[in-house]
Homo-oligomer: A and B are copies of this chain.
Amino acid sequence: MRTKITELLNIKYPVIQGGMAWVAEAYLAAAVTNAGGLGLIAGGSAPADTIRREIRKARELAGNKPFGVNIMLMSPFAEDLAELVVEEKVPVVTTGAGSPGVYMERWKTAGIKVIPVVPAVALAKRMERLGADALIAEGCEAGGHIGELTTMALVPQVADSVDIPVIAAGGIADGRGLAASLMLGAHGVQCGTVFLTANECIIHETYKEMVLKAKDSGTMVTGRKSGHPIRSLKSSFTRRYAELEASGEMTQEELDALGSGALRKAATEGDRENGSFMAGQIAGMISECRPVNEILEGMINEAQVLLN
């Protein structure tokens, strides 16, 4: 399955693994890369030394095959990570939570392929003007930090507004989603939620169980009031947070403090009471843990049958 994205990134399948903080580390990224997709290491809010170790570990596991690093631009270490990917000669960088404008020249000079995540057409156009090599158009059915537009509405509108290749994200976990994304004008897909349940994913078993048990309406959005909405699996934490948010009893600072560390508690401790188990609406479709290569090959085979 050759597309503009497989050619741009020199990968076998047009499937990218999402750069999920506390989830996307070397072992998962290398598994996706080794299976023919593009694995990603999430910078999250981690310091450069931690991510340097992950990059080197991924390289050990995946040899010369391409992988990427996701840089969350609100991270206190964003500048350090921006330099790190140049030093470590990381071939692909995806960015979230803002504009990577200040780093673009440095990265392009180093030959890094830069792929920002965009939630709307205006930012897509701006990223193309800045020199982005491709875009990830992510719909609000995705897990974690989300925008307003859905994948179905966003992808064709972004594809119409830029000339660089578009990667669809949000609500994609099988060959149907991949085939649909290609019909919408995308040249590849980014998947997050389905890789949460990969055998190679290191998150706590409780997190995986919660994804497997989730129904279609098993996620909810908190943080709309603050302007930073986040989609997670419904849990006692998200319900409590939503109630406090609606009641107006807490300041935004107090709410932020409550949310701080909640993803870590979910991913590393499986803490059902205090963890924020981020996942997308497609969690309802996922019913078993599988090795990364089965997830990827199942997706590709199903898409090819549908497209033929």
Q: Bound complex: CA of A154 vs CA of B217, how far in Å?
A: 9
| CB of A151 within 8 Å of the partner chain | yes
Q: Bound complex: CA of A211 vs CA of B172, how far in Å?
A: 29
Chain B residues within an 8 Å CB radius of A180: 152, 179-181, 183-184
Q: Which of A120, A140, A151 has the most CB of B within 10 A?
A: A151
| CB of A185 within 8 Å of the partner chain | yes
Interface string of A161-195 (1 = CB under 8 A from B): 00000000011101011011101110000000000
Given known pairs A177-B184, A180-B180, the reply for A215 and B153 (CB within 8 Å) is: no
Q: Bound complex: CA of A170 vs CA of B150, how far in Å?
A: 10
Q: Which of A116-156 contact B (CB under 8 A)?
A: 120-122, 139-141, 148-154, 156
Chain B residues within an 8 Å CB radius of A154: 216, 281
Contact across chains for B152 and A121 when beta carbons are under 8 A apart: no
Nearest-neighbour CB distance to chain B for A146, whole angstroms, equals 11
Interface string of A261-277 (1 = CB under 8 A from B): 00000000000000000
Q: Bound complex: CA of A158 vs CA of B216, how far in Å?
A: 9
Q: Residue on B with the closest CB to A284?
A: B157
Nearest-neighbour CB distance to chain B for A172, whole angstroms, equals 7
Contact across chains for B139 and A156 when beta carbons are under 8 A apart: no
Contact across chains for A217 and B171 when beta carbons are under 8 A apart: no
Q: Bound complex: CA of A306 vs CA of B151, how far in Å?
A: 18
Q: Bound complex: CA of A157 vs CA of B280, how far in Å?
A: 13
| CB of A40 within 8 Å of the partner chain | no
| CB of A285 within 8 Å of the partner chain | yes
Interface size class of A (residues with CB under 8 A): 35 or more
Contact across chains for A171 and B152 when beta carbons are under 8 A apart: yes
Nearest-neighbour CB distance to chain B for A147, whole angstroms, equals 8
| CB of A11 within 8 Å of the partner chain | no
| CB of A160 within 8 Å of the partner chain | yes
Contact across chains for A285 and B160 when beta carbons are under 8 A apart: yes
Contact across chains for A150 and B217 when beta carbons are under 8 A apart: no
Contact across chains for B153 and A141 when beta carbons are under 8 A apart: yes
Q: Residue on B with the closest CB to A219?
A: B148
| CB of A282 within 8 Å of the partner chain | yes
Known contacts A122-B217, A153-B171, A176-B185; can you find 19 more A-B pairs with CB under 8 A? A120-B216, A141-B149, A141-B153, A148-B281, A150-B151, A150-B152, A150-B171, A152-B170, A152-B180, A153-B280, A153-B285, A154-B216, A156-B285, A157-B285, A160-B285, A176-B183, A177-B184, A180-B183, A183-B306
A interface residues, Cβ below 8 angstroms from B: 120-122, 139-141, 148-154, 156-158, 160, 170-172, 174, 176-177, 179-181, 183-185, 215-217, 224-225, 246, 248, 280-282, 284-285, 306-307
